[in-house]
């Protein structure tokens, strides 16, 4: 087994575990988001589903050529836009039927998401340079999610103090903006890889 095979095996193990963790927590966070009508949890739960999809696509793409992996990186950049669109949809719903999310459930669910995302980010950090833009996409997504989870926990605390819908809305919009920036970064890296492979 050569070095590339060893690296690919390590990446396969990591992305499989990350995909499973993301898929499991998507179900938890999505249920809580719908129950307490939270924009930020809804945005983050869709992001967990997107992360699971990204990691499953990476698993498929590891055996591809550098050029095809670069194309997959471009496709993943587009997938990273989905949580931003889902956030916009949830935001419209929040303004048509305003409601303050339950702060304790918001913070506790955000804390659980933080634990999952930090675990995933640490695992992905070890392999983020092994397959170009596709593993970079997974790492950036997990890192951004951990940052978003800290903001969700804070939103729950501020909501408990203020009784306002705004902390949840602001964090939800911020999560959407972070996903747009990650999509741009992955697109640029994949485009550079595609040009180099050509």
- CA dist 86 and 189 (Å) reads 25
Taking residues 97-126, report their average pLDDT: 89
pLDDT at 131 over 60: no
- Give the H or E element holding residue 18: helix 3-36
- CA dist 90 and 7 (Å) reads 40
- CA angle, corner 45, sides to 42 and 47, nearest 5? 110
Task: Provide the percentage of residues in the chain whose pLDDT is more than 90.
Answer: 20
Average pLDDT, the chain: 81
Domain ranges within the chain, ordered by starting residue: 3-197
pLDDT at 101 over 60: yes
Taking residues 50-71, report their average pLDDT: 76
| CATH of region 3-197 | 1.20.1510
- CA angle, corner 116, sides to 75 and 180, nearest 5? 35
Q: What's residue 128's pLDDT?
A: 67
């Amino acid at each position: 087994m050569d070095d590339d095979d060893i690296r690919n095996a390590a990446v396969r193990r990591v992305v499989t575990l990350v995909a499973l963790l993301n898929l499991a927590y998507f179900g938890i966070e999505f249920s809580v988001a719908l129950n307490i009508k939270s924009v930020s949890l809804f945005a983050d739960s869709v992001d967990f589903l997107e992360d699971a999809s990204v990691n499953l696509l990476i698993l498929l793409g590891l055996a591809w050529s550098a050029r095809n992996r670069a194309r997959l990186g471009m496709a993943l950049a587009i997938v990273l836009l989905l949580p931003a669109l889902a956030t916009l949809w949830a935001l419209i719903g929040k303004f048509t039927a305003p409601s303050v999310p339950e702060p304790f459930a918001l913070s506790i669910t955000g804390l659980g998401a933080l634990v999952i995302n930090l675990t995933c980010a640490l695992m992905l950090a070890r392999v983020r340079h092994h397959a170009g833009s596709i593993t970079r996409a997974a790492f950036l997504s997990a890192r951004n999610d951990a940052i978003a989870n800290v903001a969700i926990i804070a939103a729950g605390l501020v909501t408990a103090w203020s009784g306002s819908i705004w902390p949840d809305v602001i964090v939800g919009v911020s999560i959407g903006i972070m996903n747009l920036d990650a999509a741009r970064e992955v697109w640029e890296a994949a485009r550079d890889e595609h040009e180099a492979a050509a």
